[in-house]
Structure formats: structure tokens, C-alpha cells
Amino acid sequence: MSRSLKKMVFWFSRRSHLPVILIGGLVVLVLFFNDETSMQLNLRYQREINELNREIRLNRDSAAYYRGKREAILNGADHLERIAREQYHLQRPTEDVYILVEK
């Protein structure tokens, strides 16, 4: 029995990659459970970065829209009059204004 046990131990020591498995397990433990370098923390930061990038894109689009409106107002008096009539319901003294509301 001791001979077969010795053969089994010899085979296991020759075939097993125990040091590689231990080092790999240690790396996995450090990556997933260390507070400073955890994958969970990394994923949370990546989601936050993506959300902030999306917000930046939306703000750039809004800024471009309002910049274009401002340029149109500064360069054209007819555009200014149209905005005043549509958004602020202004009228000339001889005009009647009808406001249509969709339901």
C-alpha cells in the first residue's frame, strides 16, 4: 500500500501545477477582494465615466443649439421677431394672437 501511495504522490507532484494554481488563486483574490484594486470598484468607476461622457455629449449638443440660436438672433432681426412672437406671445397692436394647445 505504501508503494502505491508513493507512486500516486510521485505522479501528482510531477503532473500537478500546484505553484501555478496557488499563484493564480492569489492573483484572483487580490483582484476581486482587495479594496483598492478590486474589479467591482473598477467596474463602478467605468460606469461613472461612461455616464459622465454621455452627459458631456448632451451638454455639447445643447450648447451648440443655443449658440446657433444666439447667432441667429444677433444676425437677423426677423428671427428675433419670430422668437418673440412664438415663445413670448408678443403681438403688434393691430394683431390678434391665437394660442393652439394640443391634447
pTM of the predicted protein model? 0.44
The model's confidence at residue 1, banded by pLDDT at 50, 70 and 90, is: low
d(CA 52, CA 46): 10
pLDDT at 7 over 90: no
Dump pLDDT digits (tens) for 20-63.
Answer: 778 888 888 877 777 776 777 888 899 999 999 999 998 998 88
Q: Which of 37, 17, 18, 20 is nearest to 29 (CA)?
A: 37
18: exposed, middle or buried (Cβ count in 10 Å: 0-12, 13-18, 19+): exposed
